[in-house]
């Protein structure tokens, strides 16, 4: 028996919640129990058309408001959404497995991001140019690109939506959101809550259905001017190809395989706590998770022991019944299989399993996608855990002797999202930060994502950027106006 009533939600189009035109639905399953915990409509092409048309119509009035007017409306809407944080957080915990305390706080964080961009919208500046003739006047201004298609993943279902929705709304764009089929409930309800809080009908529409059918149709719709997506690098490449055919603006936040370099002089307690936090939080299902640690030979064993002790102290359970638990289940059964496969691959190639490597024992975990925080040592670069994106709670350790070799190991990857450095030496901080091939470098902390800092994956990890004041320009187009006076 599931203790939580199933959530059967509807499409959110033009301010209305309604079923698909043909009534088709898709189920949402609990990662903690495998039970059906809700359902969403499987949108038809007619529903897609209605959502895009609603966004297109709303664009006329939304883009005509001043950014000061939009800021007021967005802040009112987020104030309302904050009152719904418990309901929205529960939906997220139900479908994603994230402990309730973390899910609730993701809703608040998403509202903060929308507010941040609402304030940023009033700071978009153009410029004037000196001209070659005294009778010319020349200025540049920015205008919203139009209807945006926002395609989002399941690991941070509302937070990663807000990274797109915030700058889009502030810039004067309207949107059609296509959340992942794994966790569609919380983003769908988030959009509906924004409308209930006063966002005009049609500004934020949300439709559900598969990425390969509905997602691709959204990308190719002629009225959709820009696509923003977070997901895997393979899907990102596919989306970029589809959008290129119509020369659409695109921003992509993609996969990661993030290294941490722990130098001989590092504060080992701090490094261990951050490896636990960034390696295992959300069961390692974060693009910025620490996947591999390069520890100086002189401190390797002491660091591993600290990490082992902390990993074994982490509490695991159903984050709905125990909101403060450290780790819930992984979101999908595939995630558990990939984690297992990466552990087996590493051990078969000579790694040592220090802790974890399997589901926790006991009846409470039998039906859910649980996996213990896992530490492997004596890893080598050819192992999957050091090379591929595990997207699970598995961290591999390898030693290094010189800073140059640590940099070479860390950069030997197709990804370039985030790199972590632990050192107390200023020169090492600067040299390592500058040499690491990643869009974000964190030195002595794990607080990766902040509204003010750009998040722009290098190499296979991204295209364009999200976050920071610059992200607003991903949703604007420049216009040069040149006037000849009489
Ligand atoms: P995914 O399978 O690539 O799916 C992401 C989104 O794309 C989902 O909404 C999916 O819809 C949709 N989609 C799939 N195929 C599509 C297609 N052909 N056309 C249009 N849309 C399509 O990724 P995921 O498994 O949900 O998320 C995990 C991945 O996201 C990891 O690789 C992770 O590193 C990455 N990620 C990156 C960041 C970052 O900021 N760099 C942050 C978080 C996660 P359906 O689910 O309905 O198929």
Q: Are residues 171 and 288 in the same domain?
A: no
Asked, for residue 456, whether it belongs to a domain, the answer is no
> What DSSP letter does each residue of 215-273 carry, written as one string?
IHHHHH-TTEEEEEEES-HHHHHHHHHHHHHTT-EEEEE----EEEEE-TTS-HHHHHH
Query: Is the pLDDT assigned to residue 2 strictly greater than 50?
Result: no
For a substitution probing ligand 1, which of 42, 209, 231 has the most ligand atoms within 8 Å of its CB? 231
Q: Are residues 96 and 135 in the same domain?
A: yes
Q: Which two tokens stand for residue 46?
A: 């007619």
The answer to whether 344 touches 356, Cβ cutoff 8 Å, is no
Asked, for residue 214, whether it belongs to a domain, the answer is yes
The pLDDT of residue 323 = 87
- Mean residue pLDDT across the chain: 97
Report d(CA 347, CA 274) in Å as an integer: 25
For a substitution probing ligand 1, which of 212, 214, 227, 230 has the most ligand atoms within 8 Å of its CB? 230
Asked, for residue 389, whether it belongs to a domain, the answer is yes
Give the sign of the dihedral formed by CA 274, CA 280, CA 282, CA 284.
positive
The pLDDT of residue 1 = 39
Mean pLDDT (whole number) for 357-361: 96
CA of 139 to the centre of ligand 1 (A): 39
Ligand 1 close to Cβ of residue 180 (< 6 A):
yes
Ligand 1 close to Cβ of residue 238 (< 6 A):
yes
Phi, psi dihedrals of residue 396, rounded to the nearest 5°: -100, 145
**C-alpha 97: how far from chain center:** 16
CA of 163 to the centre of ligand 1 (A): 15
Phi, psi dihedrals of residue 56, rounded to the nearest 5°: -65, -45
Question: Which residue has its alpha carbon closest to ligand 1 atom 15?
Answer: 211
Residue 379 appears among annotated catalytic residues: no
The pLDDT of residue 5 = 77
Residue 66: give its domain's CATH number.
Answer: 3.40.605.10
- Specify the number of domains making up the chain: 2
CA of 285 to the centre of ligand 1 (A): 12
The answer to whether 386 touches 380, Cβ cutoff 8 Å, is yes
Q: Are residues 324 and 395 in the same domain?
A: yes
Residue-wise pLDDT for 141-183, tens only, equals 999 999 999 999 999 999 999 999 999 999 999 999 999 999 9
Question: Which residue has its alpha carbon closest to ligand 1 atom 28?
Answer: 231
The answer to whether 175 touches 205, Cβ cutoff 8 Å, is yes
The pLDDT of residue 6 = 83
List the one residue out of 452, 460, 448 whose CA is nearest residue 415: 460
The pLDDT of residue 3 = 58
Asked, for residue 158, whether it belongs to a domain, the answer is yes
Q: Are residues 371 and 234 in the same domain?
A: no
Q: Which two tokens stand for residue 473?
A: 């320009």
The pLDDT of residue 424 = 98
Which one is catalytic: 173, 258, 263, 287? 287
Residue 75: strand, helix, or coil: helix
Q: Are residues 134 and 216 in the same domain?
A: yes
Residue-wise pLDDT for 72-84, tens only, equals 999 999 999 999 9
Q: Are residues 276 and 387 in the same domain?
A: yes
Q: How far is CA 293 from CA 177, 304, 319, 344, 398, in A?
A: 36, 10, 28, 18, 6
Q: Are residues 86 and 194 in the same domain?
A: yes
Query: Is the pLDDT assigned to residue 39 strictly greater than 70?
Result: yes
**C-alpha 385: how far from chain center:** 21
Q: Which two tokens stand for residue 76?
A: 């009112």
Residue 253 appears among annotated catalytic residues: yes
Asked, for residue 457, whether it belongs to a domain, the answer is no
Range of the domain at 361: 258-451
Q: Are residues 240 and 310 in the same domain?
A: no
Residue 351: give its domain's CATH number.
Answer: 3.40.309.10
Query: Is the pLDDT assigned to residue 287 strictly greater than 80?
Result: yes
The answer to whether 285 touches 332, Cβ cutoff 8 Å, is no
The answer to whether 7 touches 37, Cβ cutoff 8 Å, is yes
Dihedral angle over CA of 323, 8, 156, 214, nearest 10? 170
- Please, where are the H alpha helices in 413-473? 426-435
């Amino acid at each position: 028996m599931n203790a939580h009533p199933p959530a059967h939600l509807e499409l959110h189009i033009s301010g209305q919640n309604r079923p698909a035109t043909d009534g088709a639905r898709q189920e949402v399953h609990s990662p903690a129990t495998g039970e059906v915990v809700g359902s969403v409509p499987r949108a038809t092409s007619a529903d897609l058309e209605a959502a895009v048309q609603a966004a297109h119509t709303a664009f006329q009035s939304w883009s005509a408001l001043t950014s000061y007017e939009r800021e007021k409306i967005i802040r009112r809407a987020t104030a309302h959404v904050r009152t719904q944080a418990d309901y929205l957080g529960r939906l997220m915990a139900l479908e994603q497995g994230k402990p309730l305390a973390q899910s609730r706080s993701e809703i608040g964080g998403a509202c903060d991001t929308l507010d941040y961009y609402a304030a940023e919208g009033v700071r978009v500046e153009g410029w004037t140019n000196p001209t070659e003739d005294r009778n010319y006047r020349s200025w540049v201004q920015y205008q919203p690109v139009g209807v945006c298609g926002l395609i989002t993943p399941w690991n941070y279902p509302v937070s990663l939506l807000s990274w797109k929705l915030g700058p889009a709304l502030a810039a004067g764009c309207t949107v059609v959101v296509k959340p992942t089929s794994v966790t569609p409930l919380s983003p769908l309800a988030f959009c509906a809550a924004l409308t209930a809080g006063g966002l005009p009908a049609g500004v934020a529409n949300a439709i559900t259905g598969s990425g390969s059918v509905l997602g691709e149709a959204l990308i190719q719709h002629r009225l959709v001017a820009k696509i923003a997506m977070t997901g895997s690098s393979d899907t990102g490449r596919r989306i970029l190809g589809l959008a290129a055919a119509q020369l659409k603006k695109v921003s992509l936040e993609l996969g990661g395989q993030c290294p941490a370099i722990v130098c001989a002089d590092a504060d080992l307690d701090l490094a261990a706590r951050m490896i636990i936090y960034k390696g295992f939080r959300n069961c390692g299902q974060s693009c910025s998770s620490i996947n591999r640690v390069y520890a100086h030979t002189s401190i390797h064993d002491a660091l591993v022991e600290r990490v082992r002790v902390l990993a074994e102290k982490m509490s695991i359970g159903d984050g709905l019944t125990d909101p403060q638990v450290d780790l819930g289940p992984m979101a999908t059964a595939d995630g558990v299989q990939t984690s297992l496969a990466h552990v087996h691959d590493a051990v078969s190639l000579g790694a040592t399993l220090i802790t974890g490597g399997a589901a926790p024992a006991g009846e409470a975990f039998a039906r859910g996608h649980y996996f213990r925080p896992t530490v492997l040592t004596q890893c080598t670069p050819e192992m999957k855990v050091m090379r591929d994106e595990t997207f699970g709670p598995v961290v591999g350790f390898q030693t290094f002797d010189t800073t140059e070799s640590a940099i070479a190991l860390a950069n030997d990857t197709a990804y370039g999202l985030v790199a972590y450095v632990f050192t107390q030496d200023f020169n090492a901080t600067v040299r390592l930060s500058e040499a690491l091939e990643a869009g974000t470098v964190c030195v002595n902390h794990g607080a990766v994502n902040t509204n003010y800092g750009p998040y722009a994956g290098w190499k296979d990890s991204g295209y364009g950027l999200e976050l920071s004041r610059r992200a607003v320009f991903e949703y604007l187009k420049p216009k040069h106006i040149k006037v000849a006076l009489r």
